[in-house]
Amino acid sequence: MKQITDISSLRNEIDNWRQAGESVALVPTMGSLHKGHMNLVSLAHEHAERVVVSIFVNPTQFRPGEDFAEYPRTLATDARRLARAGADILFAPSSEEIYPEGTEQMTTVSVKALSEIFCGAARPGHFDGVTSVVCRLFNMVAPDVAVFGQKDYQQLVILRRMASDLHIPVNIIAGQTQREKNGLALSSRNQYLSKEEQKAAPTIYWALADCRQQLLDGQRDLDRLEAEGLDRLHAAGLDPEFFAIRKASDLSPPKADSQHLVVLTAARLGAARLIDNVLVEL
C-alpha cells in the first residue's frame, strides 16, 4: 500500500491504473477506523480492481464548539489495518492540500433542502462541509465507485443527490451498518461514552428495530410510531433530536403507497451524539 499526501502523486498513480484498464473505488473516511470502515474497504474490493482510502478529518464539516480538536486521530494504526486489508493507496492529505486558499472564502457545494433537515438542522453547515470535501475527493480520484456507510443515511442521500445534480459519473454504494452484539452501531464517537452510557446507548437501535417491526406488522399511524420512538429514547436517558419515518429515496414524508422507508434518529448521550437508522421494505 502506498501512503500519499499530495494530489499530484495521487493522480499519477491513478493514471497508471487507468492506462492498464483498471477500475477504481474510493472509500472516504475521517480515520479512527473500526470494523465498519473495514467492511467498506472489503465492499470496495468487490466492486473495483483498485481501492483508494482517504483519511482526512475535514474541518469544514465541524461547527464551532464541536469535537474537531478531540476527534480521534490514529493514522499509524489505520495505515497498518488498511495495508493488511489490501488497500492500494491511503490518501492522507493536509488541510492545505485540500483547501489551498483556506476555508473562509472557499467554493462550497451545497445540496440545499436535504442539508437543512434532521442532522442538518442540529448541525447547520455540517453537510455543506461534507459535500464540499467529497466533491473535491471525487475530482481528485475520479472513482468509478465510492463506498459510504449506511449509518450516515442522510449523508448518503445527500451525496447521491450531489453526484446526480453535478453529473459526477460515480456509482455510490452503501455498506451495511456494523453493530456491537448489543445492537449499538459502530462509530468512532462511541469512545466518548462512559460505562453507564454504553449500557443505555443500544436503546437507540432497539427503538428503531421495534418501529420497523410495527410497520412490517401493518401499523400505519406514523405520528404515533415516531412519538413512541422519542418516548423510548427519553425513558432510557437519551436526549433525542428526532425520530422520523421517511421515504428511503429522498427523505420526504411517505405516501400511503410508499414501499421503501427509512426510520432515522439522532440522540445525545453525554458527550456523544449518536445517529442510527433502519431500512423498511413494505
One of 78, 128, 152, 276 touching ligand PAF (CB under 6 A)? 152
Q: How many residues bind ligand PAF (CB under 6 A)?
A: 10
Q: Rounded to 5 degrees, what are φ and ψ at 268?
A: -95, 140
Smallest gap from residue 95 Cβ to ligand PAF (A): 12
Q: Rounded to 5 degrees, what are φ and ψ at 272?
A: -100, 150
| Residue with the three cell numbers 442522510 | 154
In this structure, the strands spanning 272-281 and 260-269 are: antiparallel
Residues 6+ away with beta carbon under 8 Å from 99 = 60, 106
Beta bridge partners of 26: 52, 146
Considering only residues 37 through 66, tell me which ones interact with ligand PAF, judged by CB under 6 A: 58, 61
101-140 mask for ligand PAF (x: CB under 6 A)? -----------------------------x--xx------
Please identify, using beta-carbon distances, which residue of 123 and 246 lies nearer to ligand PAF.
123
Q: 47 catalytic, yes or no?
A: no
3-state secondary structure 2-28: EEECCHHHHHHHHHHHHHCCCCEEEEE
Q: Give the distance between the most distant pair of CA atoms in the chain.
A: 58
Please identify, using beta-carbon distances, which residue of 21 and 100 lies nearer to ligand PAF.
100
Determine, following the binding rule CB under 6 A, whether residue 265 of this chain makes contact with ligand PAF. Answer: no
Rounded CA-CA distance 94/76 in Å is: 15
Please identify, using beta-carbon distances, which residue of 78 and 152 lies nearer to ligand PAF.
152
Smallest gap from residue 132 Cβ to ligand PAF (A): 9
Residue numbers at the binding site for ligand PAF (CB under 6 A): 28-30, 58, 61, 130, 133-134, 152, 155
Which residues are designated catalytic?
37
